[in-house]
Amino acid sequence: MTDLRDVLGQQRYEQGFTDPEGQTRTVHADYAVQGDTRIILHVEADPALRGTGAAGAFMQSLAEHARAEGLKLAPRCSYAVVWLKRNRQYDDVVA
């Protein structure tokens, strides 16, 4: 797993994970900015990572990043909505 990156020019968070064959693949979230809130529009894992838990690990990294940076997350993507509802320990970062 690589560190979470904020690709500002693309308004996208990315993180690399190793797939079952040993290749580094990416999970990403596209977002919109509204002040200190990041509206999570879409979360997507590379197909080779699906079912490996990488998307959940990515969401955890994203929530911890938001907390550390004093940001709020407003999920619009269904995956992000469900993940944040299931992980109530991150309620403080939900807008």
Q: Is 14:49 a contact under the CB 8 Å cutoff? A: no
For 16-74, what is each residue's pLDDT tens digit? Answer: 999 999 999 999 999 999 999 999 999 999 999 989 999 999 999 999 999 999 999 99
Taken in order 78, 34, 59, 95, the sign of the CA dihedral is: negative
Who contacts 44 (Cβ-Cβ below 8 Å, separation ≥6)? 27, 28, 29
Mean pLDDT of 70-87: 97
Count the neighbouring beta carbons within 10 Å of the beta carbon of residue 47: 9
Question: What is this structure's pTM?
Answer: 0.94
Q: Is 11:30 a contact under the CB 8 Å cutoff? A: yes
pLDDT band at 10 (very low <50, low <70, confident <90, very high): very high
Residue 1 above 80 pLDDT? no
Q: Which CATH architecture has domain 5-93?
A: 3-Layer(aba) Sandwich (3.40)
